[in-house]
Chains A and B, each alone.
Chain A
Amino acid sequence: MSAASTLHTLENLKPTDLPTPPQAEIRIVQACSDENVTSKELTALISSDPVITAELLRMVNSAFYGLSREVSTINHAVTILGQRALRNLALCLSVRDALKDDYLCNFNIEEYWEDALRRAIAARFLGQTAKLDHDECFTIGLLQDFGMLAVFHTQPDSSNLWETYRKLDPEARYKKEQKDFGVSHDKAGLMLGSAWELPQELISAMAYHHHGDYKNMKPQDLAYCKIALCSDWVAAVFTAEDKVGTLKSCKKLLKNIFKISEKDCDDMLTQVADDVEEAAKALGLNVPPSVKYEDVMLEANKHLADEALSYQELTWRLEKTLEERDKISDELHKELELAREIQKSLLPETESMDSCVCGLNISAKEVSGDFYDFFTLDDGRIYFNLADVSGKGMNAALLMVKTSSLFHCLGKTIDDPVQLMNVINTELFETSTRGMFVTMVGGIYTPHTGEVTLVNAGHQPVIYINDNDLKEIPAEAPPLGILPNIGLSACSFNIKDGLMFVYTDGLPELYDKTDPGNASHEMLSLFKKIKSIQRKDRINVIKEELKRHKKVMHDDLTILLIDGCKEKELTHG
């Protein structure tokens, strides 16, 4: 449907197109509103129509109206109730009669009256709370959404939307009306009220109970608008699909506007539900079987219970998942611990600190990509190596294990370091994955001569220090595993009067992260200090130094010391 066409239709709607109340009732309403009409004249006017007289007396004497004594004549009614109350009664009758004879096809008029009565009863309660004329408020409640009928009148094919609207809260319904029809019931109510020449305060409440220029509104009209707004929410509690949300919004609104407590709100809702039947009877209207507030609460609580159950289930599942995660984490941790133990077992015994070769490996993670090894050949020479696998973690650790094993195993049969490392390079290259490589220093040390032959494949420079000299042996070839042939060559020199340091980049990075190849002054000072103390204390001094730099240690760190001096020759420490 087109919003523009609806608006056009509404704008061109003639009063005769709207629901028409019986003229006799309208004349009574107008007479009641006219200050110049006397009680006698009003009595005569009403009494001239026996049907209206009978209906008015029935309404006045109904249980819903709740008068303490019976009113038997119109004269009596005018005297007791006053012209304003009679006007409201006549209005209610006129509205009822205007909608007889199936005003709208396919429109459930009984449900409409049921909702209108809930609004009317709620408005009467709120009128009492706000110390306003509660009969007037009742009429406002009954009439406030009358414009909805005019809207459906313009689009009779859309009557089926009524069921959808009933399931929405007032705000959502208001937006949907505007979307579906291009106008809302309050604007249509304004036209309808004007066409019927209704009292201004009623038109105002019909037209502005959702939105309006409240700043420039008379206080009483504003109060009626607020009552109409709240009544709308009260009635919606019984029909809206989202019972929990609508009830919550309704209670919040009543608290903010009328300072009504939650308990009083529940009491009011209970009363509204209970009074619908009586009010319908009084007005001579047919409504569907009544819905108790208890039933509404039951449904709302069921939703809440479902949500609570979902929340509990969610919490339970979360706890289970966390337990599972912790279990997997524990298992993984145990596996890593095992891997760490196996890795450590591949390193030479660290107890042999008094020997001329000793080393230390500290991993940044559970497992390390660094390793060192040394073992004595049958002829007394010592094969040594120190290496660093690219990356960290488990993949580096696995490649470390492989390389270490190759070196340790093949080293017993291949006593040329160049040949040995070429074999390892070929093996690594052929099985390389993800560009991983190994930087390695490998060599042979002959203790009785102090002769060292070493090969540096892409590794940090080896540092040799004696009392007078410092020697750096940089890499002469790229790391192992990158190319099939890397042109390895050996370098030989004598360390009989000094100490040789082979280390991974974790050590220089403690001092200069951006250029680990730069053997910093601090690192060289550490080496000199180590050289000056006894062998057994050296590893502890290195550990102390690492503790000092613990915060900046991000990489594995491995260091191998080969001492060419005889222990007895040490003059310091």
Chain B
Amino acid sequence: MEYKINKNGGYSVIELEGEIDLYCSPDARKVILKELKNGDDMLIDLSKVSYIDSSGIACLVEGYQVANEKKVKFALLGVSQNALNVLKLARLDNVFKIYNSIDEI
């Protein structure tokens, strides 16, 4: 898994790339929680995620829960079809705010 962090319009945008599975999700978790400490609103760009399992989803859930506690925005951006299938299957598309692009926000 690779990641990039950009700042865009007051958002901290974390772009995750590749497979987010049991082995990579601790890294994804670390990155998300570290960025949340800055107090910026957060977007997780999943457009380049080819696979995500339940441990990867748990990272997003934890990010979502921490963001709620901190009262900062937390949303998913450009979710790839594979990741979207998993999110929809678990009805998590009703939990996370999902945007196709940053212009939609």
Contact = CB atoms under 8 A, between A and B. Distances in A.
Contacts of B102: none
A390 B55 contact: yes
A416 B80 CA distance: 37
A479 B60 CA distance: 13
Contact of A515 (B25, B53, B85): B85
Given A390-B57, A436-B58, A437-B58, A517 B85 contact: yes
Contact of A516 (B25, B86, B95): B86
Contact of B61 (A437, A460, A477): A437
B6 interface: no
A432 B63 CA distance: 13
Interface string A458-479: 1111000000000000111111
Nearest to A435: B62
B105 interface: no
A182 interface: no
Interface string A221-245: 0000000000000000000000000
A388 B54 contact: yes
Interface string A523-550: 0000000000000000000000000000
Interface string A418-457: 0000000000000010111101000000000000000000
Interface residues of A, number: 32
Interface string A366-395: 000000000000000000000011111100
B22 A391 contact: yes
A482 interface: yes
Interface string B56-95: 0111111111000000000000000010011011111011
Nearest to B93: A478
Contacts of A166: none
A176 interface: no
Contacts of B88: 517
Given A436-B58, A482-B95, A459 B90 contact: yes
Nearest to B62: A435
A514 interface: yes
A514 B89 contact: no
B89 A475 contact: yes
Interface string B21-38: 010010001000000000
Nearest to B92: A478
A2 B60 CA distance: 64
Nearest to B85: A515
A410 interface: no
A132 B60 CA distance: 84
B89 A476 contact: no
B98 to A, nearest CB: 13
A517 B89 CA distance: 6
B58 A475 contact: no
Contact of B82 (A460, A476, A514): A514
A210 interface: no
A234 B82 CA distance: 73
A391 B85 contact: no
A483 interface: yes
A480 to B, nearest CB: 11
B94 A478 contact: yes
B89 A392 contact: no
A513 interface: yes
Contact of A513 (B25, B51, B59, B94): B51
B92 A479 contact: yes
Contacts of A517: 85-86, 88-89
A460 B65 contact: no
Nearest to B25: A391
Contact of A482 (B25, B61, B89): B61
Nearest to A456: B91
A475 B92 CA distance: 10
A434 B90 contact: no
B85 A458 contact: no
A232 B41 CA distance: 73
A458 B94 CA distance: 11
Interface string A390-408: 1111000000000000000
Given A434-B29, A436-B58, A514-B82, A478 B91 contact: yes
B50 A514 contact: yes
From B22, B50, B85, B90, name the one whose CB has the most chain A CB atoms within 10 angstroms: B90
Nearest to B66: A435
Given A391-B54, A514-B82, A477 B29 contact: no
Interface in A161-214: none
Nearest to A437: B61
From A392, A459, A514, A517, name the one whose CB has the most chain B CB atoms within 10 angstroms: A514
Contacts of B82: 514-515
Contacts of A477: 91, 94
A514 B54 contact: no
Contacts of A439: 54, 90
A255 to B, nearest CB: 53
Contacts of A516: 86, 89
Contacts of A432: 65
A437 B90 CA distance: 11
Contacts of B55: 390-392
Contacts of A475: 89-91
Contacts of A390: 54-55, 57-58, 61
Given A392-B22, A482-B64, A555-B53, 8 more contacts: A391-B22, A435-B29, A435-B63, A437-B58, A458-B89, A458-B90, A482-B65, A514-B85
Closest 7 CB pairs of A and B: A435-B62, A435-B61, A458-B90, A517-B89, A390-B54, A435-B58, A391-B55
Interface of B: 22, 25, 29, 50-51, 53-55, 57-65, 82, 85-86, 88-92, 94-95
30 contacts: A390-B54, A390-B61, A391-B25, A392-B55, A393-B22, A434-B62, A435-B57, A435-B63, A435-B65, A436-B58, A437-B54, A458-B89, A458-B91, A459-B90, A475-B91, A477-B91, A478-B90, A478-B95, A479-B90, A479-B92, A482-B61, A482-B92, A482-B95, A483-B95, A513-B51, A514-B50, A516-B86, A517-B86, A517-B89, A518-B85
